[in-house]
Amino acid sequence: MAPTAGIDWASEAHEVCVSDEGRVTGRFSAPHDEHGMVELVGRLRAAGVDRVAIERPDGILVERLLGAGLEVLAIHPNQAKAARPRFAVAHGKSDRFDAYVLAELARTDAHRFRALVPDSDETKALRALTRAREDLVGVRVELANQLRAQLEAFWPGALIFAEVDSPISLAFLERYPAPACAKGLGVGRMAAFLARNSYSGRTDPAELVARIKAAPEGTAGEVECEARRAVVLGLLAALGPIVAEISELTSRVREALTAHPDAEIFRPLFRDRKTAVCPATLIAELGDCRERYPTEAAMAADAGMSPVALESGKLRVATFRRACDKRLRLAVATLADSTRHWHPWAREVYARARARGQDHPHAIRTLGRAWLRVLWRCWQDRAPYDPARHRNLNRLQTAGG
């Protein structure tokens, strides 16, 4: 058997251990720079290593290892942590020891772990775009919550639109950041403001003005009001570019999805053919390698749609699965939640789950699990979803459901 290696990844330097039949034949540290990368790969190839274990599935180091023709095993940190007691009685921990544990897992337990397969450039592009967009949405939500809290403290009348971070709401707050700024705001001025900002809502200007007047009046003094006004303007300055960038990334996701060969597999699952973020996330998180999910149960587990069984003696319970791909879980849940409103079979599966006493999140996971049986088959066959071949849907329609 060829020697194996374990790499304890770090932001500045990587600890490497080479094991040959259980004997450590090499240890070294490689800095996280170009020279260190070249040296690391070169020393592994010189030692005859053909399999490497590391606690991450992506990154420049992983790409360089794959590019060198090495088999790379992605080992979850929880699995590496659980394996440490196999090799030491004391509960010690060090980067060198972790590298040794990973090298031994690559030697003795390679069949238990997934060997990474590089995705296509199109899939990597979708993954970068969807994850960056998701991160920016998280920042937007955080800033929007801070903005709402400030307004509720001294200017609740400004919260007249459904979303505080919508373009029309941001424009309104930029023009009227404090109660004193809106003293002369009447129906006419409101109508003119809405027209200037291309308001697409259907709420009458008179009703918006009535909401402002009906809101409770703040008790902040002049100095506090001016301070909070400055805070509101600061939050607006931060929110505006983020909202614009999210819109730009959404457009880029739509363009990248159109160019991806797997796009047509998922498009029929969405009522609006222009939907882009959810199908793009599904493609990005599933990847290109069909061998990654040899069964639909494996896909359901990674998507967090199947429970974890706990059995011991008379105890038999199913618990919520926390260790999964959170982004994939959210995408499948979004798909399930949208289809329950218009797809007859999805509506029936959801209704039956609720009738069994499941709450909404649990019923969504039940429906998501059912959808993954269909998705897995379509994904494996590279065939678009076809309602005519959906047997349970046809059975329901035949029965008059």
Closest CA to 142 of 240, 69, 239, 56: 239
The overall pTM is greater than 0.75: yes
Pair 187, 214: CB distance under 8 Å: no
Pair 101, 79: CB distance under 8 Å: no
Query: Phi and psi dihedrals of 91, rounded to 5?
Result: -90, 50
Closest CA to 31 of 16, 18, 13: 13
pLDDT in tens, the chain (401 residues): 799 999 999 989 999 999 998 899 999 999 999 999 999 999 999 999 999 999 999 999 999 999 999 999 999 898 999 999 888 877 778 999 999 999 999 999 999 998 999 999 999 999 999 999 999 999 999 999 999 999 999 999 999 999 999 999 999 999 999 999 998 899 999 999 999 999 988 899 999 999 999 999 888 899 999 999 999 999 999 999 999 999 999 999 999 999 999 999 998 999 887 899 999 999 999 999 999 999 999 999 999 999 998 888 788 888 899 889 999 999 999 999 999 999 999 999 999 999 999 999 999 999 999 999 999 999 999 999 998 888 888 888 777 65
Identity of the residue numbered 356: R
Pairing of strands 4-8, 71-74: unpaired
Q: CA-CA-CA-CA torsion for 70, 71, 75, 80, nearest 10 degrees? A: -70
> Could you read off the pLDDT of 206-265 as tens digits, one per residue?
999 999 999 998 888 999 999 999 999 999 999 999 999 999 999 999 999 999 999 999
> Could you read off the pLDDT of 270-309 as tens digits, one per residue?
988 789 999 999 999 999 999 999 999 999 999 999 999 8
Domain ranges of the chain: 4-115, 123-256, 270-398
Say if 4-115 and 123-256 have the same CATH topology: no
Concatenate the DSSP letters of all residues of 174-206 into one string. Answer: HH--SGGGGTT--HHHHHHHHHHTT------HH
Token pair for 167: 């373009």
Token pair for 261: 């060969």
Distance CA 280, CA 258 (A): 9
Give the CATH fold of the 4-115 domain: Nucleotidyltransferase; domain 5 (3.30.420)
Identify the architecture of domain 123-256 in CATH. Answer: Orthogonal Bundle (1.10)
Distance CA 253, CA 276 (A): 7
Concatenate the DSSP letters of all residues of 246-294 into one string. Answer: HHHHHHHHHHHHHT-TTHHHHGGGSSSTT--HHHHHHHHHH-S-GGG-S
